[in-house]
Amino acid sequence: RKERLYHIDDTPSGVAEVIQDLDKSYQPTTNMQATGDPICCIAASDKILVLGRESGALQRYSLPQVALVQRYALSSRPQSLAINSNSTRISVIDSTGVLTIVEFDGSVDGGGKLERRDVWTMLWASDNPNLLAIMEKTRMYVIRGTDPEEPIMCSGYIATFQDLEIRAILLDEIFANPEVLSVEEHILDLEVKSLRDTRELLEKVGIKEATSFIEENPHPRLWRLLAEAAIKKLDLKTA
């Protein structure tokens, strides 16, 4: 296993790593000086590494080369970072609880587009780069692109977000009474609005209307739901 040391104030390009792979005896020099702008949060995916610094700076590195790709400037100190499923956007909660989104084309998606306050946790959907679940006080919102869906009253901690379903854990209740644990009482499975709406259309309106809705809000889960409903009605063409 190889271990490499990088200094936060340096600007690695990935060249030293290539040389080291070709020449095992090559040892690049590393800056060992203390920094005046420490790291305060970190996030990584299979493609990128993002570091937040106390000054409000974000630094994005490519992986596995660990080459510095871009720097971004935020207006306040970041507290928490989360990268979406295809590594094209990162959501940031700052030290005051304000949520913004940074697009990796260089723009900060806030100030009129998306800025949420009193946010204390967030999680991107693992299978959709445009869906983000956040908690504001005791309300859960699902952000689709930059548009929030209707809030769900909930005080749980977001554990997973996949297949248009969010699983939340009621940790406060568990810690208050750890001797009595119940899956039904302490774990919540919540559906996003598009999944609830599709179910309602299939049950109360019809296949044609549900198909139109899914074409406007495509997701594999919704198409599966439509196929199952069509088979039950012997609509094999739609299925």
pLDDT in tens, the chain (239 residues): 567 788 888 877 655 555 555 556 556 666 678 888 999 999 999 999 999 999 999 999 999 888 899 999 999 999 999 999 999 999 999 999 999 999 987 555 544 468 899 999 999 999 999 999 999 999 999 999 888 999 999 889 999 999 999 999 999 888 888 888 777 788 999 999 999 999 999 988 888 888 999 999 889 999 999 988 888 776 666 65
Same-domain pairing of 205 and 130: no
Domain count, the chain: 2
3-state helix, strand, coil in the chain (%, to 5): 20, 35, 45
Question: Is this prediction's pTM over 0.85?
Answer: no
Backbone angles phi, psi at 62, to 5 degrees: -85, 150
What is the CATH classification number for the domain harbouring 131?
A: 2.130.10.10
Place of tokens 């946010």: 119
Same-domain pairing of 57 and 156: yes
Q: Give 61's strand partners.
A: 49, 68
Domain containing 219 equals 192-238
CA distance 74 to 178: 40
What letter does residue 228 receive in the DSSP assignment?
H
Same-domain pairing of 106 and 205: no
